[in-house]
Every structure is written in C-alpha cells, then in structure tokens.
Chain A
Amino acid sequence: MTLNLLQKGKSATITTINAEKELKNRFNSFGVVKGATVHVEQYTLAKQTMEIRINKTRMALRVSEAEKVEIS
C-alpha cells in the first residue's frame, strides 16, 4: 500500500520509494527513507495535502507525492 492511503493517526514502515531523483533527495534529507517509521498526523479537508511525522521531523507533503512511497 502507499503512504497516501494510511489513515490519520496510524503508523507504518516505509518499504520502497519510487520517486524521481529530486523528490527522492528531498525525502532523504527529511529522513523519509527505507525502513523508517512514518506516522500520519493530519490530512487537509480536500485531502490534497498531508502532514506526517518521522522521528522528530514533521513535514507536509502532497498526496500525489505520498503515492510514491510504499509502506507496509
């Protein structure tokens, strides 16, 4: 399943990242890497943007970008 399908308040582990180089790099520097535990904090009303937390880093990303992150 992909990260955009994870419910608010739930956690999961990242298995693969299928992003192009630039996005992958960005993910990387925030700690969005294989094996990290990701927690969903919030979705916006229109479900276009979401807030996640990995360790101590909170970040916002678009749902279209979360689609590129596989979790289990």
Chain B
Amino acid sequence: MKTIKIALVGQPNVGKSHLINAFGDTRLKVGNFSGVTVEKKTIRFTRDEYNFEVTDLPGSYSLTDYTIEERVTKNFLDDGDYDLILNVLDSTNIERNLYLTMELLALDKKVVVALNMQDEAVNEGVFIDDKQLSKLLGISCVPTSALKKTGIDELMGAIVQAFDTPKKTCHLQYSDPYEEEITKITSFFTEKNYQSDIDLKTLAIKLLREDTQIYKKFRDEAIWTELQPMLNESYEHLYIHYKTKDLDGIYHDEKNALAKGAVKESVKFDNAKDNNGLTDKIDMVLTNQYVGLPIFLFLMWGLFQITFEWGSIPMDWIDAFFGAMIDGTKSFLGDTELASVIADGAIAGVGAVILFLPNIIILFTGIALLEATGYMARAAFLLDGFFHRFGLHGKSFVPLVSGFGCSVPAYMAARVLKNDRDRLLTLYITGFMSCGAKLPVYVLIIGAFAAPEHAGNILFGVYIFGAFLGLVAAKALKMTAFRGDDEPFVMEMPKYRLPTFGMVFHAVSQKAMMYLKKAGTFILAASVLIWFASNYPKYPEMEAQFETKIEQVSGDEEKVKALNNELSLYKLENSYLGQVGHASQPFFEPLGFDWRMAVALETGLAAKEVVVATMGILYGLGDEEDEESSSLADKLRANVTLPSAIAFIIFAMIYFPCLAASMVFRREAGGWKHWIYLFIFTTAAAWILAFIAFTIASVIFS
C-alpha cells in the first residue's frame, strides 16, 4: 500500500483540525482562537487503499518567520518530508486566504486546495466557482464543509489524483514588469546550465525577494560573481517601477494582486446576504467600550463561582466514597501494615486528588467555551490597553488565562507571542496564575478557615490577588531584565461561532484524562512513597515504652488517648518525612509553618496535587482516635493558625511550578538557565511575600 504524506496548511481558524477529524477517527485539539494549535501534530489513517499521514501545521497567515508558529510551518514546508500540501481555505474570507495560497504555489510543490466552510459561504452569499478557480490556479480546488462533512470524498479523490500524477510547473502569472525580471534570471540560469533542485522560477522569486537563506547558499557558489550584478540591475528596475525599495513589499503586492484577480474571475458575492450582522450585533455589546470590560469580569467571576459552588456537590459524594473505601479496606485487611499502605497511603492520596476532578472539569469547560466561541480574542482586545501598561501584550491573556487551568498548556500557549522577549516575560509570570492543581490547596484551607458563605468570594480574591502580583512582577521584570521594544499587537478577531459539543468535549476530556492519569500513576506512586517516608523508620522501643505506660493508666480514657496521640506524633516527627521537614524548618520558621506544612510544600514540587495528599496523610495519621474531628479541615484548624494559613496560601500560590510544568517551561524558555532563574525568582518572591503576609496577619489577628 502506498503512503501519502500530506502537509496541512492554512490560516488560523479555517477548520484544519475539524477537517482532519472528518477524514477519519482521529483526535486533535480544536479551538477558535489563533494559536491553539501551536505544535505540529501527525495523524495516520487508511482509506481507499492508501495510507495517509497528515501533519497538522500551526495556522499561519503567511509564510514569514516572525512567529514561532510561522517558523514551524515555514521550516516544515522547506525541509520537511511530505508529498503534497493540502491548503485549507475559509471560503467566507476567500481573498485573504488566497494570499497564503499564492505563496504556497510559489514553493513549487504539489498543492490541493480545500475550500472549507462551504456551508457558511453559501449562507453569506459567497459563491465560488471551484472549476474556474482550479483552472486559474492550475490545481484542484474542492469545496468542503468540515462541519457538515460534505466534499470529503471528493477532496480525498483530488489528493490521490495529485499524488499519482506528476507535478505541473508553476502556473502563476505575475504582472509584466515582475515576470520580465523573473525571466531574465531564469534564462541566465538556463544559459549557465545551472543544476538546481528547486524550480528555477521559484528560485528567481526568492532572489527577487532577497530571501536570506537563498542568499547564503549562493554566496559560496562560483555563479555568484556573475549573478550579483544582474540582480542589482533587476532590483533597480523594480525600484523604479514600483517607486519603493521594499522588495518583500513588492512581492506581496504582486501576490495580493494575483489573489484579487482570482477572486474577481471566480467568485460571486450576493451582498444582500452578507451577514457580518450577527457578529456585529454581539460585538456591539461584548466589546462595547463601557460594558465590555464589566461583562468580561462578570463572566470570569461567574466561572469561578460555578467552579466552586457546583463543584462542591459531587465532591461530597466522592469524599464519602473514598472514606468508605478506606474504612472497608481496613476492616477487610485488619490492622496491618498492608492495610495502612493501601488505605492511608494509596487510597487517601489518590482520593484527595480525584476529589477535585469536578472543579477541573467545570473550569476547563468554561475556558474551552471561551476559546471555541471566539470570545478569547475579544477579551485580548479589551485587555490589551491594561496589559500593555505592565509591559505585557493583549495576547499574553491567552497563556495567562490558560494558566488558571494548568501551567503546562499555558507555557505552550505563550507561543502566540511572537517576540521572544514578550514571550519570555509572559512565561515567567504565568506561574502567578494559580493552576487547577493549586485549587485543592486553596479550597482546603479556605474551607477550613472561612465561613461557607464567604468561601467563593475569598477564592475569587485569591485568584485575582495572584494575577495582580503577576502583573506587578511583569512590570518589574520589564523594567529590568526585559527592557526593549514591544511587538505589534495586530490580531484577528474571529467570527463568533457556536461551539460544537464535540469540540468542547475533546478539550475537556483531554484535560480531565491528563489529570486522572497523573492521579493514577505519578500521584499514586508519590502517595505510597510519602506514606512510607512518614511511617518509617520504626521505633519499637518507644512503642513498647508507651504500651507499658498505657497499661498502667488503663481505664482512664483521657490519659490513654493523650498517650496514643503523643506516640503517633513522636513516630511522625521522627520518620524520614519528619526529618526532612525538620531539616528545612529553619527556612520556613519565619513564615509560621510547622514541619508538616514544610513537607507538604516540598512534596508539592513533584506535583501540586500532592500538597493536599501529603497534608491528608500527615494530619490524618496524627490522631486516629479522634472521631469528632475526622475531616482534614477540622484537623487543620486545630493545628494551624490563621496567619500561617494565609502565608501558606501565598507561598503555595507563587512558588516553583510542578515538575511537569517546569520541564515544559525549560523547553519553551530555551534552556536550564531560565529554569534556574525561575526557581530563584519564584522561591524568593514566595518567601518574601509570605513573610510579609504572615507578619501583617499576625498583627491584625492577634
């Protein structure tokens, strides 16, 4: 069976990912904001006797290399291994989409065009004569709708046909003056019998655009001495004719003129049907200069309220379920080490993590909806003025908001920022946006110390405060380490779209699975490890001593209980975990943390979910006898003061991200150097701010 390798290229939001899903049963993240697909992904499937290998390249408006996405796409098109390019177009915005097509055609590769969003185009009165367009461009253009799944078979047919037939030479006819210079150069190459692995016309255009790579290549060749004066002459001709010295600009004008011409000859517009109307009407409210921002803040506030309020309902069930499982295991296996490692270690740790699955699902559903509807871009528009003041970019909003979900995708989403400095700055402060895994920590502590009716507001406040600190940090960094020019803001505002159920479901289920997978593997292992470290080494002598004491006072319930507690505490403090906690206590002492809180934070370096799991084990084992205060929150209240609880929240909010996230940060920021900087920066900031909070709170609440 033959394999067809396809490079999937298109501008952002044209439905590339949807189209792949329509091809076969494949999973891909789909979203309605430029920059959701930042990495190229490869999908394989078999159809009609052929193997297909589709590489979904990040959406790019043109083949330049300003943004990372564009760079990824351009490099793959230049050097990647593929048989043909499948260029997906948004038919409703055909002219602008054809700009890119024209650039692709100049690459001298096989190209097939999918005129996607055909359903919408017809509704909006855009009628494309695909036969005529195919003839004009010299390639197959197939109308499709990824949403309605029409035209897919025809598209596959066109792909197979293009694959099986030899490539035709470039069909594009630029304006006469431009063609003249192209011909001069190509005939010079032919005369010289120059052996080129790319098409001569393609080569000529690259030279006329002063393409740096081609220049580098030629500079080492003998032909350069003759070529250079010729090129200079051509440039002069172009300068005079176009009245500008911007060679790249001249090429783009040529290319745009071609697109305009193609549209004129093959597309009919029914202006009566032109309905920008709906998006206009919605935007009149949502981006309104007075109510736009309040609406945005209200939506965000609502999302956090729902996350907390609705999330707490299934949480009670999950809590009860794991509680029953722990009791069941213990009564089944008896009072043994095995029962303890399973119940107090594995089940308690994993249960504490799964408890927060409802919150995660609700929050990510909200974010997925914001993305899929196109509202994200509006939010970026509304916020840019504000963000810019802190040296950030309106688009920084995307990674920063994703940061409320999980830092891992957030760090990756920072690729929407094309200027390296802006991206680095955003990367550094993304951690201030509390990720979903920190939510359990906040919920636990707020739940323990605040009245239930205030909990939602306080949680919202914690998130806002974190974000505010992030902005201050951004400003500080921008004025010191990241001084320099800003990158342009220019950003598309996509049309509003109703998100499909599948889209949201994919996005949310992916996140939920990621979270659960972590719970099932990493956190399970970490829980057992922590259990072990908190139960060993054993102190048989001490236990014997206490046993005799307990026998002596037998009958006096109170004293027995006190002794038992004393023993548990002794064992814990002298366990491996206790030793680590004690060793680091001097560092945490000024913040009012006991050794258990220190340990919880340290284990949280592996994953933030582990913080709560650790606390569950450490505070849970301490007083098994105490029936009344069985919930972790009650135990916390008994052991931790309010000022140190506040300091704890602040420290947990700012300190170093989890292992997985920090590794992604290292990759995105470009090296261990930044990883170390981030460690120092976050630890110092966390300690100082927690110390300030602790000091102030101690004064207020004393």
Contact = CB atoms under 8 A, between A and B. Distances in A.
B490 A26 contact: yes
Contact of A60 (B246, B377, B487): B377
B93 interface: yes
Interface string A14-55: 000000011111111111111000000111111011010101
A24 B489 contact: no
B64 interface: yes
A24 B66 CA distance: 12
Given A30-B96, A60-B489, A45 B62 contact: no
Interface in B478-534: 487-495
B279 interface: yes
Interface stretch (B300-308, B381-389, B636-644): B381-389
Interface stretch (B73-81, B248-256, B618-626): B248-256
Contact of B276 (A45, A48, A51, A56): A56
A67 interface: no
Contacts, number: 117
B99 interface: yes
Contacts of A32: 490
Contacts of B280: 41
B252 A28 contact: yes
Nearest to A39: B276
B95 interface: yes
Tell me if B's interface is mostly helix, strand, loop or mixed.
helix
A58 B488 contact: no
Interface in B258-273: none
Contacts of B253: 33-34
B95 A25 contact: no
B276 to A, nearest CB: 7
Contacts of A45: 289-290, 293
Nearest to A32: B490
B289 A42 contact: yes
B252 A25 contact: yes
Contacts of B384: 44, 48-49, 60, 62
B153 to A, nearest CB: 29
A49 B61 contact: no
A46 B99 CA distance: 34
A34 B256 CA distance: 11
Given A45-B290, A53-B276, A59-B492, A29 B61 contact: yes
A17 to B, nearest CB: 9
Interface residues of A, number: 33
B95 A30 contact: no
B256 A28 contact: yes
Contacts of A49: 381-382, 384-385, 394, 489
A65 B394 CA distance: 14
A23 B283 contact: no
A56 B289 contact: no
Contact of A44 (B93, B276, B289): B289
Contacts of B100: 29
Tell me if A's interface is mostly helix, strand, loop or mixed.
mixed
A60 B377 CA distance: 9
Nearest to A68: B488
B150 interface: no
A59 to B, nearest CB: 5
B99 A25 contact: no
A5 to B, nearest CB: 17
Interface in B280-301: 280, 283, 287-290, 292-293
A61 interface: yes
B490 A55 contact: no
B645 interface: no
Nearest to B487: A22
Given A55-B93, A60-B490, A29 B381 contact: no
Contacts of B646: none
Nearest to A29: B61
A31 B96 contact: yes
Given A56-B92, A60-B394, A23 B490 contact: yes
Contacts of A61: 488-491
Interface in B70-115: 92-93, 95-96, 99-100
B189 to A, nearest CB: 28
B66 A25 contact: yes
A65 B493 CA distance: 17
A59 B493 CA distance: 5
A29 B287 contact: no
A21 B283 CA distance: 31
Contact of A55 (B96, B279, B283): B96
Contacts of B279: 58
A65 B381 contact: no
Contact of B62 (A21, A25, A42, A43): A25
Nearest to A25: B64
16 contacts: A21-B248, A22-B66, A22-B488, A33-B253, A44-B289, A44-B382, A45-B289, A49-B394, A51-B287, A56-B93, A56-B96, A57-B492, A58-B279, A60-B491, A60-B493, A62-B489
The 3 lowest CB-CB distance pairs between A and B, nearest first, are A48-B385, A29-B61, A58-B493
